[in-house]
Structure formats: C-alpha cells, structure tokens
C-alpha cells in the first residue's frame, strides 16, 4: 500500500521538473533552447543504423558473446567484489538484465556485485547509445552506465577517456549525474565536465539514458531531452581523447569514494540495477 501511494505521487510529478542544477562542474557547453531542438533532432535522426544491442530476452546468465566482466575489487575504494558470470550478481529475467549487489562475505570482501563490459567483444567510435534502466535506492549504492577507451589496459585512466551516460549515488536519491573525464578534465583534478539533473526519487522508475557522440561533440539525453554537451575544442587528446573506440560498462558499485560518502545502508540490500536494453547505432 505504501509503495502504491509512492508510485501515485511519482506519477503525478511532471517531467518538466527535470532541470539542470549547476554545481560548479563547469559544463563547457550550455544547452540553450535553440541548441536543444537541434540536439533532439540529432538524437532522433532516421540516419542511425543499429549496429549492436542486447534486449535481454534470453533468461539466465548474460549472453557471453556480448558481455565480459571486471572481477575483484577494481577502483575507487569500493566495497564490492565483482564476480564473473555468477547468477546471484548478474542475471537476465523477464526481458531485463539485473545486476545485483549483495551483503555477503566473498573472498575477503563484505559485498558482491557485477560489472559487465564489452571490452574485447564490442567497441565503437562515434555513434548513438541508448540504455533504458532503473537504478536501486539506498545509501551506498553507486550504479553507472558508462564507457572507457579500449586503450584503457595500455594507456590507463584518464588517458583512455570516460563517458558516463548515467551515474547515481544513493545518498542523493533526487539526482542523476552525467559526466565526462579526460586527461585535462577529471574527478582527480576535481574539474570533470558534467551536470546533474534533479529527478525526484530517480530510483522509482525506468529512465532512458542517451548519448550522441560525434567528432565535434558528445551530447547526453535523459528520456530523449538533451541535458549536457561536451565539445571537442581542438586542443588534442588531453582535452578530447574521443577519436578512439570506446567500450561499454554496466555496474553496480557499493560504497567507495563517492558512492560511500554517507555510508552504506545494508538494510537496502540486496539491490538491483535493472536494464531493459542497450542499443548502439552508427551513422555510417
Ligand atoms: Ca528488454
């Protein structure tokens, strides 16, 4: 009953509540009303050709021809151990991929979860991406839909470039975050480019996260509306490492430098990042 009431309130919230909240991250490209219609036209163009997708229609372990895994404890002082092809942490059911974080001891860690990637399976240079997903609630969860350059194993981060289609931290349940990291602009230097959008109770429903990546700029979309853009300023790969292929990552982290800033609410676990589909288009 309580959940029904919450759903009814959420349904009554107009999408117009969606607004950018500058927080000093310094987006380098304002998205004016005029720009917004041009951006939407680029997003909705009929010239895109679908080149890769997963609709998650095959129940069980995620399709091994499409997905690989990060394993172990990989970054940001996060608390989860990422497992490989373990159904308790990554499973397809009812047309959705569920990435599930659990409170359980595992190889010295106190939590398990999964990070699916397409490294060595699929990558793309320029194109359009759309992912429909629902993030889980709870302090300490840090789900992300993102990309890294395929040269990451060789050149490392941030030289490889990182595009975050969406990040969410459970201690800020009313916001979704959209960021980009390059050698010149990144979170270590505290000057990454990005924005956050106020979405009341962002975890209560599915949203569609879109990206249009062209040689001259990258644009982010939330439910089809442009929310941020990052321009190629012509200063070279320190500023724009995005003329190289990128691969996809889908993960649900627990704790860590950002996600764990206000602790971890174990009562919210297990928690699932639900993904309805991942689609990638090319304009070639
Ligand atoms: Ca689906």
Q: Tell me, what's the pLDDT at 33? A: 61
Query: Please, which pLDDT band fits residue 2 given cuts at 50, 70 and 90?
Result: very low
> Which is more confident, 31 or 148?
148
- Distance in Å, CA 56 to ligand 1 centroid: 5
Give residue 206 CA to ligand 1 midpoint distance, Å. 12
**What is the distance in A from the centroid of ligand 1 to the CA of 91?**
13
Given this model, what pLDDT does residue 284 score? 81
Selected residue with higher pLDDT from 65 and 284: 65
> 235 CA distance to ligand 1 centroid (A)?
40
Mean of per-residue pLDDT scores for the chain? 90
Q: Which residues are catalytic?
A: 162, 167
Ligand 1 midpoint to CA 95 (Å): 4
* DSSP category for residue 255: B
Res 31 pLDDT > 60: no
Residues 74, 120 contacting (CB under 8 angstroms) = no
Single pTM value for the model: 0.89
- pLDDT above 60 (res 7): no
Output the pLDDT for position 102: 98
Q: Given a cut of 80, is residue 270 above it in pLDDT?
A: yes
Distance from Cα 127 to the centre of ligand 1, integer Å: 21
Residue 98 in this model has a pLDDT that exceeds 70: yes
pLDDT of residue 252: 98
Give the CA-trace dihedral at 44, 48, 51, 56, to 10 degrees. 20
CA distances to 11, 89, 182, 214, 261 from 164, rounded to whole Å, are 27, 22, 12, 16, 19
Q: How far is CA 190 from the centre of its chain?
A: 19
For 185-227, what is each residue's pLDDT tens digit? 999 999 989 999 999 989 999 999 999 999 999 999 999 999 9
Give the residue ranges of DSSP H helices in 163-234: none
Please give the distance, rounded to the nearest whole angstrom, from the Cα atom of residue 275 to the centre of ligand 1. 7
pLDDT at residue 28 above 60?
no
Band of residue 25 on the pLDDT scale cut at 50, 70, 90: very low
What is the residue whose two structure tokens read 């919230």?
Answer: 13
pLDDT tens-digit profile of 230-241?
999 999 999 999
Is residue 154 within 8 Å of residue 119, measured between CB atoms?
A: no
Q: How far is the CA of 90 from the centre of ligand 1 (A)?
A: 15
59 Cα: distance to centroid of ligand 1 (angstroms): 11
For residue 161, pLDDT beyond 90: yes
For residue 92, report the distance from its CA to the centre of ligand 1, in Å: 9
Q: Stretch 84-107: mean pLDDT, rounded?
A: 98
CA–CA distance, 8 with 282 (Å, rounded to integer): 38
Please tell me the predicted confidence (pLDDT) of residue 5. Answer: 37
**Cis link prior to 51 (omega < 30° from 0)?**
no
Rounded CA-CA distance 167/203 in Å is 12
Fold of 27-282: Jelly Rolls (2.60.120)
Report which DSSP code applies to 9.
H
193 DSSP β-pair partners: 180
Report which of residues 34 and 5 the model is more confident about. 34
Q: Can you give the pLDDT at residue 48?
A: 98
């Amino acid at each position: 009953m309580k959940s029904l009431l919450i759903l009814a309130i959420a349904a009554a919230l107009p999408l117009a509540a969606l607004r950018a909240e500058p927080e000093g991250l310094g987006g380098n490209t304002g998205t004016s009303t005029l720009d917004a219609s041009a951006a939407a036209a680029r997003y909705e163009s009929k010239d895109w050709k679908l080149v890769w997708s997963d609709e998650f229609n095959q129940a069980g372990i995620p399709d091994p021809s499409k997905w690989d895994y990060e394993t172990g404890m990989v970054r940001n002082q996060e608390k989860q151990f990422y497992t490989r092809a373990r159904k308790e942490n990554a499973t397809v059911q009812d047309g959705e991929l569920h990435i599930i974080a659990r409170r359980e001891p595992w190889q010295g860690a106190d939590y398990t979860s999964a990070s699916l990637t397409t490294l060595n399976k699929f990558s793309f240079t320029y194109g359009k991406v759309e992912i429909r997903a629902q993030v889980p609630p709870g302090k300490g969860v840090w789900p992300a839909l993102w990309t890294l350059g395929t040269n990451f194993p060789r050149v490392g981060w941030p030289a490889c470039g990182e595009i975050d289609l969406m990040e969410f931290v459970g201690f800020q349940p009313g916001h979704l975050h959209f960021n980009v990291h390059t050698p010149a602009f990144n979170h270590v230097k505290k000057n990454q480019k990005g924005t956050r959008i106020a979405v009341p109770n962002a975890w209560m429903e599915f949203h569609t996260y879109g990206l249009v990546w062209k040689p001259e700029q990258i644009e982010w979309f939330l439910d089809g509306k442009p929310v941020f853009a990052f321009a190629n300023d012509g200063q070279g790969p320190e500023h724009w490492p995005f003329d190289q292929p990128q691969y996809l990552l889908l993960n649900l982290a627990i704790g860590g430098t950002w996600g764990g800033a206000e602790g971890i609410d174990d009562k919210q676990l297990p928690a699932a990042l639900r993904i309805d589909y991942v689609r990638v288009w090319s304009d070639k």
